[in-house]
């Protein structure tokens, strides 16, 4: 058989040699997923013995606290030790008072989870959108979200979560200065060791559609473009992340993940900080819908998606695929 020597190093260098056997491919894989990379989001509602599937997110549910405790037991048995909590209150008002009530849904859930499953790392989303009657992430005055008035309520919410036992506080509101305000609030309340996972580069994305059904948090008017980021901007994301780090963020997050892999990579390269990425509801739903129609192999695509996010630079991935992935890893 004739050989071509046009490629430098050929035939002495043959990259296919290390792809020949499964053991070799496994041995030299550059990016691997582990169960500790995964954070599983949960949606908590008031009541008892309640579990309702989210129509646009197959296999995901709104659950009452009793079922959340059962879910946490299953997660731990699978090796998933981190969860991100979203609360859906029974009642909403203009100022989102359920977000910072000592008897709020998240506060009650955190206390119950930490009592029943102390090994579970509990991360709480800090925002107002699930709790406000208008669905925006802060105090609305004159049709506009007032940044500085919102900060006061976010601090109250964050401190109340820490008092309930939350291990990590994750502000997702995208108000200017909220990391510094929350850091000071936590420190003043004696929670100097409670980390902040900041949603630092959170884009105004159409990929959040299914989440808004799950969290019942769609805005009742307008949109969130005045506080969430424009999808066309990555330099701005670096400025947002730099500010959050300067204000005291311990972990920075890029959301969504799959359409913003370049932002994840830039974040890791420029800051060398712990980076989280949120594999959001729309990214999950697309794979599920295509797999249900037989258009692709859902399991393989799931693992490829998660691996790509890790390869881009994410240290941890918030994903609705966590349970399925954990059964494979």
Find the catalytic residue in 114, 149, 184, 255: 255
Does 255 participate in catalysis according to the annotation?
A: yes
pLDDT at 97: 84
Q: Which two tokens stand for residue 224?
A: 């969130």
- What is the pLDDT confidence band of residue 218, given thresholds at 50, 70 and 90? low
Whether the per-residue pLDDT at 221 is higher than 70: the answer is no
Residue for token pair 């090994």: 119
Q: Which two tokens stand for residue 84?
A: 């991100």
- Run of H or E residues at 44: strand 38-45
* Mean of pLDDT values over 180-190: 98
Q: Give the Cα separation of 60 and 41 in Å (integer).
A: 9
Superfamily of domain 32-328: Aldolase class I (3.20.20.70)
pLDDT at 223: 61
* Mean of pLDDT values over 169-179: 95
For the segment 248-266, what is each residue's pLDDT rounded down to a tens digit? 999 999 999 999 999 999 9
Q: Give the Cα separation of 61 and 53 in Å (integer).
A: 4
Higher pLDDT, 31 or 210: 31
User: Peptide bond before 11: cis, by omega within 30 degrees of 0?
Assistant: yes
pLDDT at 7: 75
Does 202 participate in catalysis according to the annotation?
A: yes
> Which residue ranges make up each domain of the chain?
32-328
Q: Which of 133, 173, 136, 176 is nearest to 157 (CA)?
A: 173
Whether the per-residue pLDDT at 2 is higher than 60: the answer is no
Higher pLDDT, 4 or 289: 289
For the segment 48-59, what is each residue's pLDDT rounded down to a tens digit? 999 999 999 999
185 touches 157 (CB < 8 A)? no
pLDDT at 233: 98
pLDDT at 213: 73
List Cα–Cα distances, 38 to 82, 213, 316, 319, in angstroms.
7, 23, 6, 7
Whether the per-residue pLDDT at 37 is higher than 60: the answer is yes
Share of the chain above pLDDT 90, in %: 81
Planar angle of CA 167, 193, 68, nearest 5 degrees: 5
Find the catalytic residue in 35, 184, 202, 268: 202
């Amino acid at each position: 058989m004739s050989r071509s020597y046009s490629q430098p190093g050929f035939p002495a260098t043959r990259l296919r040699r290390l792809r020949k056997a499964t053991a070799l491919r496994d041995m030299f894989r550059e990016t691997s997923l582990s169960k500790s990379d995964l954070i599983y989001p949960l949606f908590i509602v008031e009541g008892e013995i309640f579990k309702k599937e989210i129509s646009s997110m197959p296999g995901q549910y709104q659950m009452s606290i009793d079922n959340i405790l059962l879910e946490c037991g299953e997660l731990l048995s699978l090796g998933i030790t981190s969860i991100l909590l979203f609360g859906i209150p029974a009642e909403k008002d203009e100022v989102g008072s359920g977000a910072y009530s000592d008897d709020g849904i998240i506060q009650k859930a955190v206390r119950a989870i930490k009592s029943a499953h102390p090994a579970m790392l509990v991360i709480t989303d800090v925002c107002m959108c699930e709790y406000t009657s208008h669905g925006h992430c802060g105090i609305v005055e004159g049709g506009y979200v007032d940044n500085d008035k919102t900060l006061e309520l976010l601090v109250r919410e964050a401190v109340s979560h820490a008092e309930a036992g939350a291990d990590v506080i994750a502000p997702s509101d995208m108000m200017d200065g909220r990391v510094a305000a929350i850091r000071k609030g936590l420190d003043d309340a004696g929670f100097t060791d409670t980390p902040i996972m900041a949603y630092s580069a959170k884009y105004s994305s159409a990929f959040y559609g299914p989440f808004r059904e799950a969290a019942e948090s769609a805005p009742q008017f307008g949109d969130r473009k005045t506080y969430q980021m424009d999808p066309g901007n990555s330099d701005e994301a670096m400025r947002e992340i730099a500010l959050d780090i300067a204000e005291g963020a311990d972990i920075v997050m890029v959301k969504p993940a799959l359409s913003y892999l370049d932002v994840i990579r830039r974040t890791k390269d420029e800051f060398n900080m712990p980076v989280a990425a949120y594999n959001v509801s729309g990214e999950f739903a697309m794979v599920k819908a295509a797999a249900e129609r037989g258009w692709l192999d859902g399991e393989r695509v799931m693992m490829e998606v998660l691996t790509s996010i890790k390869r881009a630079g994410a240290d941890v991935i918030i994903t609705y695929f966590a349970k399925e992935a954990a059964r494979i890893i």
